[in-house]
């Protein structure tokens, strides 16, 4: 079992007690109580049981308090795009150039677009990054239906009208029951 955590001396014991009592919300109170109980030399498992939270949460909050101080517990969550190469607006600008090409009927593939993405970012990225970029902006895979190069639509339509197999089906009368 790990020994109880040490609390960094950001506040004196009296200041720490006042800080706990002046918590603005239930969430902040719970985090501050975690620090208080840890200061009183309770183990992370005991604090987790007392406050009905997980042990990793206790260690996380104690670590935030020790590194940053009391304001470390009031920071926002980790949501959002933390590891993006381009901002959302830059990605949209990049996609606008591709959109005009796609509307003209040009077939765009991720490996083809990889060079443009590398140039826009200023470093090499994987083709998987391009797929995620397209997915993030709700681009879908739409491919043209396979068609023969020498296919003639008029000839195909005429054949459908005069085909012997189709003509026979039209001539067959339904059997009476």
pTM for the full model? 0.48
pLDDT for the residue numbered 10: 93
Q: What is the pLDDT along the chain (177 residues), one digit of tens a residue?
A: 667 788 999 999 999 999 999 999 999 999 999 999 999 999 999 999 999 999 999 999 999 999 999 998 987 777 777 778 999 999 999 999 899 888 888 888 899 999 999 999 999 999 999 999 999 999 987 666 777 888 888 988 888 888 776 555 555 566 666
Q: How many CB atoms lie within 10 A of CB 77?
A: 5
pLDDT for the residue numbered 36: 95
Distance (Å, whole) CA 145 – CA 156: 16
Q: Is 117 exposed, middle or buried (0-12, 13-18, 19+ CB in 10 A)?
A: buried
pLDDT for the residue numbered 163: 73
pLDDT for the residue numbered 171: 55
Tokens of 53: 């939270």
């Amino acid at each position: 079992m790990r020994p109880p955590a040490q609390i960094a001396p950001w506040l004196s014991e009296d200041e720490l007690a006042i800080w706990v009592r002046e918590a603005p919300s239930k969430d902040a109170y719970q985090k501050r109580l975690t620090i208080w109980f840890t200061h009183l030399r309770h183990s992370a498992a005991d604090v987790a049981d007392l406050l009905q939270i997980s042990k990793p949460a206790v260690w996380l909050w104690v670590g935030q308090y020790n590194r940053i101080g009391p304001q470390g517990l009031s920071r926002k969550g980790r949501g959002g795009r933390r590891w993006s190469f381009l901002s959302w607006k830059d990605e949209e600008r990049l996609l606008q150039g591709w959109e005009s090409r796609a509307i003209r009927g040009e077939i765009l593939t991720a490996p083809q677009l990889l060079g443009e993405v590398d140039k826009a970012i200023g470093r090499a990225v994987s083709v998987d990054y391009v797929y995620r970029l397209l997915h993030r902006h709700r681009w879908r895979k739409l491919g043209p239906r396979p068609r023969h190069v020498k296919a003639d639509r008029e000839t195909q339509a005429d054949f459908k009208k005069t085909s012997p197999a189709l003509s026979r089906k039209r001539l067959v009368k339904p059997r009476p029951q």
